[in-house]
């Protein structure tokens, strides 16, 4: 089920999908400090069943149980249209880089030590 987009001064939504609870917790904290409304999910199945806001940026780990992160992004796009999404992973292969690029999905490499993810979220949301 889709929730209407935020109005007025409501914060922009970021949805983090990663099976590593430490990553979810750290991203939730740091992105909320930056003013985002953050929801986290441990699997693609959980995220696909959830009531997600219509306007959100998805931060998706590539290595998820059940389906990989790129497959999840494509499933979300099939359901919702072109959603802003960023794939996060360690050591992406050339094949993964090419597949993500073909779908217009940027990759930010783990560990997330720089501002690359935050910059990517802002760029991705600004495209709307």
Per-residue pLDDT in tens (0 to 9) along the chain, 128 residues: 344 444 443 458 999 999 999 999 999 999 999 999 999 999 999 999 999 888 899 999 999 999 999 999 999 999 989 899 999 999 999 999 999 999 999 999 988 877 889 988 988 877 65
- The domain locations on the chain are 12-93
- The radius of gyration of the chain from alpha carbons, rounded to an integer in Å, stands at 13
Phi, psi for residue 109 in degrees, rounded to 5: -80, 140
Superfamily grouping for domain 12-93: Response regulator (3.40.50.2300)
pLDDT for 3 equals: 41
Q: What's the Cα-to-Cα distance from 44 to each of 15, 40, 72, 76, 128, rounded to whole Å?
A: 11, 11, 6, 10, 24
Residues paired with 56 in a beta bridge:
13
User: Are 105 and 70 a contacting pair, CB within 8 Å?
Assistant: yes
């Amino acid at each position: 089920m889709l929730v209407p987009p935020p109005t007025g001064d409501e914060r922009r939504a970021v949805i983090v999908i990663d099976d590593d609870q430490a990553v979810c917790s750290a991203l939730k904290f740091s992105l909320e400090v930056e003013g985002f409304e953050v929801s986290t999910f441990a699997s693609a199945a959980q995220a696909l069943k959830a009531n997600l806001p219509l306007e959100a940026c998805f931060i998706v780990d590539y290595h998820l149980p059940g389906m990989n992160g790129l497959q999840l992004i494509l499933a979300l796009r099939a359901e919702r249209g072109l959603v802003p999404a960023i794939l996060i992973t360690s050591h992406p292969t050339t094949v993964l880089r090419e597949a993500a690029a073909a779908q217009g999905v940027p990759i930010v490499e783990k560990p997330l030590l720089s501002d690359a993810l935050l910059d990517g979220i802002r760029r991705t949301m600004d495209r709307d």
